[in-house]
Chain A
């Protein structure tokens, strides 16, 4: 079946550090890939997405590239801020066209000033 595996957290970094959160997936066919972010006390928000191989999604300084050969969609940011502290979820859409998203377990990120 379809699944998403994320880097285990929690992750703690200093402000301005480089961030990578790993995400790999298993799917039949060609899913779309997403990163969602959840700030404390809020629902999930779409951060970025990529719909086909080699696409790069980007938003708010975050980037992720859809790598079909390694079945990965790693999230990166060059210089993190305290306001980036949140839980990050990698997800894929069902390649068979169903509406469901399959989420990873989430990675809690804390940025210290």
Chain B
């Protein structure tokens, strides 16, 4: 298995631009999670889906952030407009329902200038 795939691995953009991060979960996994990691705030859960349905988006920082999961093999996290404080590493993870064990992707390092 290829594991969780994220793209791009690195993104540098200017303030105000739209950013879209992509994730392909492990085949057969029913749950998908988006996290953000910074030195100041550590690892934060932004949103998670079960069977493509958003279950908890209480970690999404504000309306500039949105996430979709149109099918079982693809999810996006969009930031519009981006701001310098959004600079972080964004991780996608997937798991089978109710196992607790999550498999993380390699992350996307986002830099907003």
| A-B contact number at CB 8 A | 50
- Report the minimum CB–CB distance from A3 to chain B (whole Å): 13
Decide if B31 is an interface residue (CB 8 Å cutoff). Answer: yes
At the interface, yes or no: A5 with Cβ under 8 Å from chain B? no
Question: Secondary structure of the A side of the interface?
Answer: loop
Contact between A89 and B100, CB atoms less than 8 A apart: no
Q: Which of A45-89 contact B (CB under 8 A)?
A: 45-46, 49, 51, 89
Instruction: Enumerate B37-74 residues with CB–CB distance to A below 8 Å.
Output: 42-43, 45, 48, 50, 55-56
- Known pairs A100-B48, A105-B42; A45 contacts B104 (CB<8 A): yes
In Å, the complex CA distance between A67 and B104 comes to 27
Residues of A participating in the B interface, judged by any CB pair closer than 8 Å: 32, 34, 41-46, 49, 51, 89, 93, 97-101, 103, 105-106
Binding site for A on B (CB under 8 A): 4, 31, 33, 42-43, 45, 48, 50, 55-56, 91, 93, 95, 97-98, 100-107
